[in-house]
Amino acid sequence: MAEVQRLGGQSCAYYQRGRCTRTQNPKASALAKCELLEARRKVGAETLDRLERLKRLADPEDREVARRHVIQKNLTAINRLSCAGYVPARNDGPLCVHQHLSFCLLRLPECEGRCEHYLRRRQFSEAGWVGRS
Ligand code: SF4
Ligand code: SF4
Closest C-alpha to ligand 1, atom 5: 34
Rounded to whole angstroms, how far apart are CA atoms 105 and 108? 5
Question: Percent of the chain scored above 70 by pLDDT?
Answer: 95
Query: What is the average pLDDT across 96-118?
Result: 96
Q: Which of 12, 8, 16 minimizes the C-alpha distance to 104?
A: 16
Residue 125, SS3 per DSSP: strand
Query: What is the average pLDDT across 13-38?
Result: 96
Judged against a pLDDT cut of 50, whether residue 126 lies above it is answered with yes
The set of protein residues with a Cβ atom below 6 angstroms from ligand 1 is 34-36, 83, 85-86, 96, 98-99, 104, 106
Rounded to whole angstroms, how far apart are CA atoms 46 and 55? 15
